[in-house]
Amino acid sequence: MLCFTVCSALEQTVPGELLAEFTESAAQITGLTDFQDIFQSMEHAFLQLKSRLSVEENNIRIVCRIKALIEDNLPQAGAAMLADQVHLSKNYLSSLFKRHTGQTLNDYITSVRLQKASELLRTHGCYVYEAADRVGYKDVAYFSKLFKQQYGCTPAEYKAEAHR
C-alpha cells in the first residue's frame, strides 16, 4: 500500500521511464515483513531515483547550454564545435540532444539558421547571399534548397513577399 501511494504521488513530477524504474525497485518491498528491511529497500529506491533525477537535470542544463551556444555562434555551430564546448563526444551529445528535444542536433541547427535567415531577409533587407553567409551557409544554392523546403518558397521570393 505504501509503495502504491508513493508511486501515485510521484507520477505528477517524475518522468515516465524514471518512475518505472522507481516502481520496479520499490515493488521489491511487497514481500518484506521486517520494517527495517522495508525502510532500507525504500531508501535504496529513493536514492536511485534521486541520482537519476540529478543526471537528468544536468542533461537538461547541457541541452539548454547547447541551444544558447547555437544562438550565439550560429555561423560556426556544428556538432564538433558544440561537443568541444561542453566536453562531450559528438555522438553522445547528438544522442542526448535528440532524447531531450525529439529533434536531431543537425535539424535543430538548420531550423535555427533558416529562422534567423528569414528574419534577416524580412527585416534587414539583406541579399540572399548575405543572409546565407551570416547564418553559416557558404553555398547559396544549398541554402536556397533548404530554405525552400522549410518555407515553401525561395529566399528571393520570401524577401520580395516580405517587402510588398
- The answer, yes or no, to whether residue 12 has pLDDT greater than 80, is no
Closest CA to 24 of 49, 60, 50: 49
Q: What is the structure's pLDDT at 22?
A: 63
Please give the mean pLDDT across all residues of the chain: 84
Q: What is the structure's pLDDT at 57?
A: 84
Q: What is the structure's pLDDT at 17?
A: 65
| Mean pLDDT calculated for residue range 22-33 | 66
Contact criterion met (CB below 8 Å) for 131 and 117 = yes
Contact criterion met (CB below 8 Å) for 136 and 75 = yes
What is the CB neighbour count within 10 angstroms for residue 145?
A: 12
Kindly report, residue by residue over 75-89, the tens digit of the pLDDT.
999 999 999 999 999
Q: Which three cell numbers stand for residue 53?
A: 533525477
Kindly report, residue by residue over 102-151, the tens digit of the pLDDT.
999 999 999 999 999 999 999 888 899 999 999 999 999 999 999 999 99
Kindly report, residue by residue over 110-122, the tens digit of the pLDDT.
999 999 999 999 9
Q: What is the structure's pLDDT at 81?
A: 94
Lowest mean pLDDT among 10-19, 24-33, 125-134, 154-163: 10-19
Q: Is 135 exposed, middle or buried (0-12, 13-18, 19+ CB in 10 A)?
A: buried
Q: Which CATH superfamily is domain 108-162 in?
A: Homeodomain-like (1.10.10.60)
Which pLDDT band holds residue 55 (cuts at 50, 70, 90)? confident
Q: What is the structure's pLDDT at 41?
A: 73
Q: What is the structure's pLDDT at 8?
A: 57
Q: Is the pTM of this model over 0.95?
A: no
Comma-separated ranges of CATH 1.10.10.60 domains in the chain: 108-162
Which pLDDT band holds residue 1 (cuts at 50, 70, 90)? very low
Give the list of residues 6+ apart from residue 88 with CB closer than 8 angstroms, or none: 62, 96
